[in-house]
Amino acid sequence: MTDMTDITESESPRTTDARRHLDHAVRAMDHVQARYEVAMLDYIAARVVEAYPQTTHLTFVHATPDGLIELDGLWVTHDGGTEELFLDVRGGGATIAGLDPGEIGDDLTYALDRLNSVAWSAVRPNTLPGKRWVLDIPPADRAARIADLVRAHHPDAGLLTVDLSPIRPRVAGVTAVGPTGIGPTVHAEPDQPLWPEETGRIIQGLIWQIQCLPHLRARYMTRFGGPSEESAYLLLPPTGTGEEE
């Protein structure tokens, strides 16, 4: 196996400089692609909710003969947690109350095209019968939703310490903030998780989406530890704040 260190050391200054610019360009493309995927996710959600405000999640078929995603149905989750299919669009294609299932399917195809697309963070990981998947409609205010989920287990939480080094951000700690200032931090431990697994999956996905949207990243996330570190604080808004812009 070729040693990349040896190659780098033997390269001319011009080649080394070109490689550095190429690496920067690739990272920039990845950031743009991730931003596009979340923007497309939000565009899909806005169109669906505009037509059917009660929608909390939708189902789609991922494995179709032509490789495209097809919208399957729109669902609502009631207060008791019961999920109800209120619009079955299976086998459709006609416009339904201003919503074109074919266009939604095409947009989902674009958003979920990459296996590591950020949009997959809104998809529940287990398939349903018939190779159907569930995509939860992103909340209008991601940070407020994270705050609600975190404070259900840590009522005094004011900020999160987030590890950004994996492809999906990981919450490393929860810090309390009270009237007298910063309080203690509860660190994530293998034998003492910060919250149930499903709650963690939702929080992780929403943080990943915030990280990819510059206006939200600038508002809620602060990097620390130097340029080589991949850590950040995520400020939790007060409970009951308005929607994100």
Q: Are residues 77 and 83 in contact, defined by beta-carbon separation less than 8 angstroms?
A: yes
**Sheet strand arrangement including 170-178:** 181-187, 170-178, 157-163, 231-235, 221-224
User: Which own/partner pairs from 86-92 qualify as long-range (CB within 8 Å, at least 24 positions apart)?
Assistant: 86/52, 86/54, 87/52
Q: What is the pLDDT of residue 140?
A: 93
DSSP states of 161-211: EEE-SSSS-EEEEEEEEETTEEEEEEEPBTTB-SS-HHHHHHHHHHHHHHH
Query: What single DSSP character describes residue 11?
Result: S
Q: What is the pLDDT of residue 178?
A: 78
Q: What is the pLDDT of residue 22?
A: 81
Q: Give pLDDT tens digits along the chain (245 positions).
A: 444 445 555 678 888 888 877 877 877 788 889 999 999 999 999 999 999 999 999 999 987 667 789 999 999 999 988 999 999 987 655 567 888 999 999 999 999 998 889 999 999 987 788 788 999 999 999 999 999 999 999 999 999 999 987 678 999 999 998 777 788 999 999 899 999 999 999 999 999 999 999 999 999 999 887 666 789 999 999 986 555 65
Task: Quote the CA–CA distance of 229 and 168 in Å, as a whole number.
Answer: 16
Query: What single DSSP character describes residue 66?
Result: T
Query: What single DSSP character describes residue 124?
Result: -
Q: What is the pLDDT of residue 36?
A: 95
Query: What single DSSP character describes residue 137?
Result: P
Query: What single DSSP character describes residue 79?
Result: T
Q: What is the pLDDT of residue 1?
A: 43
